[in-house]
Chains A and B, each alone.
Chain A
């Protein structure tokens, strides 16, 4: 901000000679604040007490049943007022049959306030239920549960179970994927580019997967007033730009031109003097972070599915996720294949990418929130898009460095124009698609 203001103040100072620098700054500040103040006045005038001139139309109440828990011989519905006006909850029903219930803390809900409706009901495991809430104006809102399952309550056993699931789904597959490092290392330049491109394809698939998941969550579980899609878009962009900016600062603090040189140097396995976080290691780290965020979202989804009883969690599903996630290890090691890496660093990257599945499982299972899910999935997608950009630029450097030896435009090019790049992306996406069918 200060950077943005300084030249403006300078210009103003020039345009109005005789004004000192501090007075000019004050003026700029005032000119920036004045419209804001007017907006505040407008809002107060239109919505303040006693103003009735804009009360046209009929505001319709809306409540959203955000989650339904089956506990003992009760059904608990978490209800949020997602409409424009306060409402009172008048009636609760199960399968469109009115049942007595309690509502805590009370039946009147201000905007965005939540309450828990407790309906005594001897529900049966695995049967579908529709929970209905009728507000004081007689409008009924409902939510379907495909299959009733006992709600998860945090216990040592369940915490351990989610840790085990997360380890199988996240940590172990990623670590296994890392073991391809020696194999990739022995390959020539073209194969190396191919594997980098495979990684880009894998990441692209994962990012789209995250976005799709977030869209599903926002459509099924999020009230319209939360603008789920725009929340997702904002999360993706903020995450992408934040990580992009931070990444540029951390890994390429000498600017793009220097970065290219550093890349060349790293390509020859440390002949230059790269800073600690620059080059392949930085890229691998960012891939790990991106995949870690993605796996957190995946853990959320798994935890929520188990917690909400919408999925029978089976060993089959674990196997599917595990195979799917082995490919994520490949994504991490591909950029490292031209560099000597300590084993502990490699393992650290794997854990960074895989372990968030465990935390995601805990959060999703015990404290599921559709808004948090959308945000996390969006952040994960943004992070992955950022990693893709870094990888593509990395491969592009190969283009320019290869220009000296290979004829430009040759079919065997090893950069963005080459067959390995295109083929790798296609292969990566195909691998992800095929393994995703298992999930």
Chain B
């Protein structure tokens, strides 16, 4: 009977220790790393946080995203330019390559399978003058069929709907006369359409009027979003893909200088999006098709692929917010800042001799975008592109390869 007692005690002890171990692992947290000294951060909402760990704040992350919103903002692809021997028509040739297997950091720390035209979301901004012949050699290096469907006026065969281009190197040449004047989206039109759009197969197509527009600092903003967990709701919103990017890196513009924003809404799932500008109002040209503004306002509402041209000039220097006034979107990343500066020397009419070195507009991701005043007048000066001249004026500054 002594062994019986002993066994009972052993069993009870074993049960007790098992319970103790289970409880201990459950209650205590498993830390695998030694703690770092506490650091203090100022977050973009103004809250101060002191932590021994890491900070989750798109504002304070060094951006390592493959796509550079600063470069995209002022980059226009004019194609490889030639002139038709007989008619004298300007021909702009592009090569656009579709892929659907890239995984990119669409927000700091968040990786998502993007489907791309020429490797980025949005795809390149294709720009031509009304009446130019646009010739696009489309190569599908993806695994699924894709197309390019342009909003605009073109033959049925060039509509990119009934002519799927197979993956693995399939090709199609889209050729049409640029028109009408305005700002238009292009996107893949393979079913299921929503899937092909939300993964990133879209871009902007700008058609300039033959007589050009007034000189301005020109910007492209695609309002887009990402549903990274596939629940048919966007997890992130942005102007130009990366959430909070332009709040982190304010867009530097000059006081008293005309700013022209080509804005295209590509947000899916949510029926509307909008654009609100602080400390100013803008002239708005829906679709950019009309030479006279339809509205003078600080707030426009945009449905799917609705787009237009905004023109404004700041009288005051300083930081001015722009964001979706559907505040949910702005709190998920669709928010930015214009940093308005004095032009300095005042001579911003210099001709652009830079040959389209758009990388200069990138402030180098220096963390706040406030400090590098030295570059700004040069960078902005480069914007003084002559858009009033004839179409031929573009030829001197075309993008090197159109791809």
Partner of B54 from the list A74, A106, A245, A379 (CB cut-off 8 Å) is: A106
Q: Given A246-B12, A249-B5, A371-B22, is A102 in contact with B109 using a C-beta cutoff of 8 Å?
A: no
Of chain B, the residue at the smallest CB distance from A110 is: B32
How far apart sit A118 and B228, CA to CA, in the bound complex (Å)? 23
Quick check: is A253 within 8 A (CB to CB) of the other chain? Answer: yes
- Given A134-B235, A369-B27: A98 and B53 interface contact (C-beta under 8 Å): no
Chain B contacts of A74 at CB under 8 A?
Answer: 49
For residue B383, give the distance in angstroms from its CB to the closest CB of chain A: 32
Q: What 8 A-B pairs come out closest when comparing CB atoms? A: A138-B228, A371-B26, A104-B53, A90-B109, A120-B47, A100-B43, A100-B57, A102-B51
Contact: A136 with B23, CB < 8 Å?
Answer: no
Which A residues between 97 and 132 are near B, CB-CB below 8 angstroms?
Answer: 97-107, 110, 112-118, 120-121
Is residue A146 within 8 Å, beta carbon to beta carbon, of the partner chain?
no
Chain A residues with CB under 8 Å of B25's CB are 371
Interface of chain B residues 1 through 47 with chain A (CB within 8 A): 1, 4-5, 7-8, 11-12, 15, 18-19, 22-23, 25-27, 29-33, 35-36, 41, 43-45, 47
Q: Does B387 sit within 8 A of A, measured CB to CB?
A: no
Q: Are A138 and B53 in contact (CB under 8 A)?
A: no
CB distance from B8 to the nearest CB of A (A): 4
Using a CB–CB distance below 8 Å, which chain B residues touch chain A? Answer: 1, 4-5, 7-8, 11-12, 15, 18-19, 22-23, 25-27, 29-33, 35-36, 41, 43-45, 47-49, 51-60, 106-112, 226, 228-229, 235-236, 243-244, 328, 331-333
Residue contact A120 to B228, C-beta cutoff 8 Å? no
Q: Which of B22, B41, B45, B226 contacts A138 (CB 8 A)?
A: B226
Nearest chain-B residue to A93 (Cβ)? Answer: B332
User: Could you say which of A78, A105, A246, A372 has the most chain B C-beta atoms within 10 Å of its C-beta?
Assistant: A105
Complex CA–CA separation, A338 to B318 (angstroms): 90
A37 within 8 A of B: no
A-B contact pairs, 24 of them (CB 8 A): A90-B110, A91-B56, A91-B110, A98-B236, A98-B243, A98-B333, A99-B45, A100-B43, A100-B47, A100-B57, A101-B49, A101-B55, A105-B32, A106-B54, A113-B31, A115-B53, A117-B56, A118-B49, A134-B229, A137-B111, A137-B112, A138-B106, A139-B229, A375-B22
Q: Is A96 an interface residue (CB 8 A)?
A: yes
Min Cβ gap A290→B in Å is 15
Note all chain B residues with C-beta closer than 8 A to A134: 110, 228-229, 235
A-B contact count (CB 8 A): 164
- B47/A136 in contact, CB under 8 A: no
Is B45 touching A239 in the complex (CB atoms < 8 A)?
Answer: no
Cα–Cα, bound, A183→B328 (Å): 67
Instruction: Given A246-B11, A246-B12, answer yes or no on A100-B49 (Cβ-Cβ < 8 Å).
Output: yes
Asked if B44 and A100 sit within 8 Å, CB to CB, the answer is yes
By size class, the interface of chain A is 35 or more
Question: Which residues of chain A are near B4, meaning CB under 8 Å?
Answer: 249, 253
A106 to B32, CA, bound (A): 10
Q: Which residue of B lies closest to A97 (CB)?
A: B331
A89 interface residue, CB < 8 Å from B? yes
Q: Which residue of B lies closest to A94 (CB)?
A: B331
With known contacts A110-B32, A138-B110, A245–B56 Cβ distance under 8 A: no
Q: How far is the CA of A370 from the CA of B35 in the complex (A)?
A: 26
The residue on A at minimum CB distance from B5 is A249
Which of chain A's residues has its CB closest to B27's CB? A369
| Contact B54 A102, beta carbon cutoff 8 Å | yes
Decide yes or no whether A242 CB sits under 8 A from chain B.
yes
- Contact (A242, B12) CB under 8 Å given A88-B109, A106-B54, A120-B48: yes
Given contacts A104-B51, A375-B26, 12 further A-B contacts (CB under 8 A): A91-B109, A98-B333, A99-B43, A100-B59, A100-B60, A101-B57, A136-B111, A137-B111, A137-B112, A242-B15, A246-B11, A246-B12
- With known contacts A100-B44, A134-B228, A138-B226, A246–B8 Cβ distance under 8 A: yes
A301 close to B (CB within 8 Å):
no
- A277 interface residue, CB < 8 Å from B? no
Q: Write out the residue numbers on chain B whose beta carbons fall within 8 Å of the beta carbon of A78.
A: 29
Chain A residues engaging chain B, CB cutoff 8 angstroms: 73-74, 78, 88-93, 96-107, 110, 112-118, 120-121, 134, 136-140, 235, 238-239, 242, 245-246, 249-250, 253, 367, 369-372, 375-376, 379
Q: Give the chain B neighbours of A92 by CB distance below 8 A.
A: 56
User: B residues within 8 A CB of A140?
Assistant: 228-229, 235
Cβ–Cβ < 8 Å partners of B235 in chain A = 134, 138, 140
A239→B16 CA distance, assembly (Å): 9
> Cα distance A96–B237 when bound, in Å?
12
Q: How far is the CA of A245 from the CA of B12 in the complex (A)?
A: 9
Residues of A with C-beta under 8 A to B57: 100-101
Complex-state Cα separation, A238 to B49, whole angstroms: 46
A101 CA to B236 CA in the complex, in Å? 17
Instruction: For the complex, give the distance between the alpha carbons of A133 and B111 in Å.
Output: 15
Q: Are A113 and B53 in touch, CB under 8 angstroms?
A: no
Contacts of B108 in A (CB 8 A): 90
Report the Cα distance A91→B236, complex, angstroms.
10
B111 contacts across to A, CB distance below 8 A:
136-138
Complex contacts, B328 vs chain A, CB 8 Å? 96-97
| Nearest residue, chain B, Cβ from A88 | B109
* A245 to B7 alpha-carbon distance, docked (Å): 10
Collect the chain B residues with CB atoms within 8 Å of residue A115's CB.
53
Complex contacts, B55 vs chain A, CB 8 Å: 100-103
Partner of B53, one of A90, A105, A238, A369: A105
Q: Let me know if A369 and B23 touch, CB within 8 A.
A: yes
List residues of chain B with CB within 8 A of the CB of A242: 11-12, 15
